[in-house]
Structure 1
Amino acid sequence: MIILATVVVTLAAVIHVAIFAMESISWAKPSVWKRFGVKSQAQADTVRPMAYNQGFYNLFLAIGAFIGVILVGAGAHEAGGALVIFTVGSMLAASIVLITSGRGYIRAALIQGTVPLIALVLFIISLVS
């Protein structure tokens, strides 16, 4: 079970690296900012600093998840497990906050939060079994 859990945690981290790339690296492309519901170049330019910052939050959570998985694999189950639970729990919490931002964000919240939810459940099950 721990192998499946760490694979799903890794997938959640990869998704958050992709979100980082869109928000912090590729934001200038209309095809990217339109995915986030931004309607015009002027709005994209206004939102850009916030997207840049938010992208790094996603990257830091992904890094935490990667490090947690590495620690678990190296036998540091308590430290790695704590880091994994914190990071995927934070990813899940962020998706819940996103849902509260408006109905237009439900799809994005599901993309952002479903894999971390599965990872969290699998990881906790693997710890107690």
Structure 2
Amino acid sequence: MSVVASVFVGLAALLHVYIFCMESLAWTRPEIWRRFGVADQSAADVTRPMAYNQGFYNLFLGLGAALGIVLWWTGHHEVGKTLMLFCTGSMVAAATVLITTGSSYLRAALSQGTIPLIGFVLTLLA
């Protein structure tokens, strides 16, 4: 169970690092801002500072989850587990908040919340 939990938490971490790359590093590319429902380049330019900041939240959650895995497997089981639960729980909470912004965000919320939810539950059971 610990291995499977670590795999899902690791996948959640990678997903959130990927989201960071899209939001903070590649936001002004049309193929990126279109994914987020931004209407045009002008709107992407206006929202760039917000996306940049939001991307770093995703990065920090991803790095925290990854650190939790490392701590778990290097003998700091309780600290690692706590960090894994906090980070994946935060990811799930953020996806839940995304759903409350409108039904058009349901797919995005499910995409970024399902893997962390599985990781959270498996970590609790491990």
Normalising by structure 2, we get a TM-score of 0.99
Give the distance between the partners of 2:123 and 2:86, measured in 1 at CA: 11
Runs of 4+ in 1 over 4 A off after TM superposition: none
State the match for 2:61 in structure 1.
Answer: 61
State the Cα RMSD in Å. 0.5
State the match for 2:24 in structure 1.
Answer: 24
After TM superposition, list the pairs within 5 Å mapping 1:1-129 onto structure 2.
1-126=1-126
Q: Quick one: which amino acid aligns to residue 18 of structure 2?
A: A
| Pairwise CA distance, 1:79 | 0.6
| Pairwise CA distance, 1:75 | 1.1
Identity of aligned residues (%): 56
Unaligned ranges ≥5, structure 1: none
Normalising by structure 1, we get a TM-score of 0.96
User: Residue 53 of structure 1 aligns to a residue in which SS?
Assistant: helix
Give the distance between the partners of 2:27 and 2:19, measured in 1 at CA: 10
Give the distance between the partners of 1:83 and 1:39, measured in 2 at CA: 37
